[in-house]
Amino acid sequence: MKITIQECPEGEEDEIILRCKNVDEQLLKLVYDLRADREKLTVSKGEKLFQVLPSNIYYFEAVDSRVFAYLEKEVYETRLKLYELEERYRNTDFFRASKSVIINLAKIKCLSPVFSGRFEAQMKNGERLIISRQYVPKLKEKLKW
């Protein structure tokens, strides 16, 4: 594969052109990752609004009809619902792990089986999350395991 990078003149929009014989799953994932990580997510903490890159988010969790974005050390609230986040980050490293959690697979340190067919994800920041039994087959498929 040949990769060429050219700087564009000031005032022109950045553009990525992919030329290939076959569009495969790996290429599509690359495109989705590029798009998803350029679009910052607006979140809040108290009265303040922040913009965060999706690649910095460890997981999303729904609690009492509110959805929170967990970063390495910070927690923010988002106005989006889990199903909206799941759709927005479809074909990226985000994975629905239970009815109330979406995990960023890139932020997982390791996975371990636990009782009743569930898995535990130990995150790179030390947190531990449970992957529900019904989502384990999709996890294995996503990891090609």
Domain count for the chain, please give it: 1
Q: Which of 64 and 115 is assigned the larger pLDDT? A: 64
94 within domain boundaries: yes
**Does this model's pTM top 0.85?**
no
Query: Do 65 and 87 touch, CB atoms closer than 8 A?
Result: no
- CATH of residue 76's domain is 2.40.50.1020
Per-residue pLDDT tens over the stretch 116-144: 999 999 999 999 999 999 999 999 988 88
Among 125, 134, 124, smallest CA distance to 95 is for 134
57 within domain boundaries: yes
With cut-offs at 50, 70 and 90, classify the pLDDT of residue 36: low
Q: Residue 62 is part of which domain span?
A: 39-143
Query: Do 98 and 130 touch, CB atoms closer than 8 A?
Result: yes
53 within domain boundaries: yes
Residue 38 has pLDDT above 70, yes or no: no
Per-residue pLDDT tens over the stretch 40-86: 999 999 999 999 999 999 999 999 999 999 999 999 999 999 999 99
43 within domain boundaries: yes
Residue 102 has a CB neighbour count (10 Å cut-off) of 21
